[in-house]
Amino acid sequence: MTLKNFPGLLLIAFALLTSSCKKDNEDKKENYYVKIKIDGTWVTWTKVAGELGQDLGDATKTNLTIAGSDDASKTVFDFSLQVEDTKISIGTYKSVDYFMPISYVTGAGTSDPTFYTDSYIDSGGDSEYTLTLTSITDKTVSGKFTGNFLVDLNNEKTIDITEGEFVVPRIR
């Protein structure tokens, strides 16, 4: 994945989080979360959303996007999964087998954001993630993931995001 995809992914994450605000008021917000382990420290966010449905550009593919952010929307984590099928089912998906872009942004909405993404670096090899979907309903998506690191491609600085779990409301 190239750096040119980041603005699009960030826009999707912001759209998901912004459109989920109304849903947060309708449902009990504390039931939804994205919890991630960043550099050995657990962080839990309740400003979250999920989207699952047909790829808008290719009807033979299905996309899932999970997004979470801090309350100020300055730090954002999101990942997507795309399958060559008309359905995403519960089960395990590996980034080496599927298109699964992952990003972590600090300073979102500022003049100097930092984008971390799944990539390859000479000093660390490939960024790899495994996503396990444990429940998909018409209202929620839940699961967990494991992985190793994300990279800031501007300076090859890495951040360890090694595991996480989520229960998010579906907006689609």
Per-residue pLDDT band at 29 (split at 50, 70, 90): low
Tell which residue, 93, 116, 134, has the closest CA to residue 39.
116
**pLDDT score for 28:** 55
**pLDDT score for 153:** 85
**pLDDT score for 125:** 79
Query: In sequence order, what are the residues at sequence separation of 6 or more whose Cβ sits closer than 8 angstroms to the Cβ of residue 93?
Result: 81, 83, 100, 130, 131, 132, 133
| Cβ-contact 119, 101 below 8 angstroms | no
**pLDDT score for 8:** 47
Instruction: Tell me the residue range of the domain where 112 lies.
Output: 3-169
Residue 17 in this model has a pLDDT that exceeds 60: no
Q: In this structure, what token pair is assigned to residue 61?
A: 């593919």
Altogether, the residues listed in the chain come to a count of 172
**pLDDT score for 167:** 98
Q: What is the pLDDT of residues 119-172, one digit of tens each?
A: 877 766 789 999 999 999 999 999 999 999 999 988 889 999 999 999 999 999
Number of domains within the chain: 1
**pLDDT score for 3:** 39
Cα–Cα dist 172/170, whole Å:
5
The Cβ of residue 51 has, within 10 Å, a number of other Cβ atoms equal to 21
Q: What is the pLDDT of residues 66-113, one digit of tens each?
A: 999 999 999 999 999 999 988 999 999 999 999 999 999 999 999 999
Cα–Cα dist 126/100, whole Å:
13
Mean pLDDT of 23-37: 73
The residue that leads in pLDDT, 56 or 27, is 56
**pLDDT score for 123:** 67
The residue that leads in pLDDT, 16 or 55, is 55
